[in-house]
Structure 1
């Protein structure tokens, strides 16, 4: 496995830019029905490649993205944790969102919480953002719990405009946190 230069690290995790070599593992994670339970559908390999391309472009434009996350000790890819600029039509956008998606074998280890705390630090200290939001479908209690654990407060509920074709997922919560 090649050595990766991390943009920053937390106690157990390294955060880095994406490479084309990530596609196999990224596509496998996005094809997992359990991982994608709170999304409209699992992604095909082609859809994952398109998502990866959007991550490259987002990083080039904004200097941040949903970063590839690895366990420092083993360099194992576990998914993504990071930030994304959101401009879809909602009362709280445009805004920078914090989000995460981890492969199943990385669940239950505190990685999402640890990584999200470190990404918030990056957002406020390095990027000098004033506020960060996070959203998820109302039934995604595990993600909502991470939002609470990292100090975010529930701001409201909304119908996500990008989930109109998935009515069971459209009712979402939005959390926010401001720079101290």
Structure 2
């Protein structure tokens, strides 16, 4: 089982017990505002999301991690890697890093801490050469996390279905190692 420990967090694979606490996070409109079409997810959609993430782990050797606080074991969200959706223009088979934390965990550096561990996992353990972050324009908190990871703004694209502007940040292995 793949696990990563940071000073405050445990990043691990998903279990059935994670669906309820993740459903609570996904039900918060503020959390989901910048994700997908901005709609909260119900428990069935959340269970499907976890199932897809676990399938990606099996298929790709990486995926979204369940993120929990080391001290309490409380699930605080999801951070990890995914192959970019086919519908996003100009990002063929890039690996994307994503993060989503419960609102009560914002502003404490958890997203950056977990994302840094996931980025290192991608570039050093899984042999990924390039990682992107696709951030909705206006989501300043996520843009800040991408920049803390050393990612550079590369270009802006438009989501083909939802029509909103997305900023693509990127880093490759040579930039990460420098």
Q: TM-score, normalised by structure 2?
A: 0.92
Structure 2 counterpart of 1:65: 63
Q: Which residue of structure 2 aligns with residue 49 of structure 1?
A: 47
Q: Which runs of 4+ in 1 moved over 2 A?
A: none
Contact 1:124 1:130 in 2 (8 A): yes
Conserved? CA contact 1:152–1:177, under 8 Å: yes
Aligned residues: 171
Q: Judge conservation of contact 2:136–2:165 (CA < 8 Å) in 1.
A: yes
Q: What residue in structure 2 maps to residue 132 of structure 1?
A: 131
Indicate the SS of the match to 1:35: helix
SS in 1 for 2:71: coil
Rounded to whole Å, the distance in 1 between the matches of 2:47 and 2:171 is 31
Q: What root-mean-square deviation, in Å, do the aligned CA atoms of Structure 1 and Structure 2 show?
A: 1.3
Q: Does 1:35 align with 2:34?
A: no
The one-character-per-residue Cα deviations of 1:25-66 (angstroms, maximum 9, x if unpaired) are 011111101101113200111111111111111111111111
Aligned to 1:175: 169
2:149 is aligned with 1:153: no
Question: What whole-Å deviation, never above 9, does each CA across 1:100-139 have from its counterpart, x for those lacking one?
Answer: 0000111110001111111111111100111000002101
**Does structure 2 conserve the Cα–Cα contact (< 8 Å) formed by 1:6 and 1:14?**
no
Q: CA deviation at 1:67?
A: 0.4
Q: Within 2, Cα distance between the matches of 1:6 and 1:158? A: 33
Displacement of 1:88 in angstroms is 1.4
Query: Counterparts of 2:159 and 2:65 in 1: how far apart (Å)?
Result: 23
Aligned to 2:3, which of 4, 7, 10? 7
| Structure 2 counterpart of 1:88, from 63, 74, 86 | 86
> In the alignment, is the contact (CA less than 8 A) between 2:64 and 2:82 conserved in 1?
yes
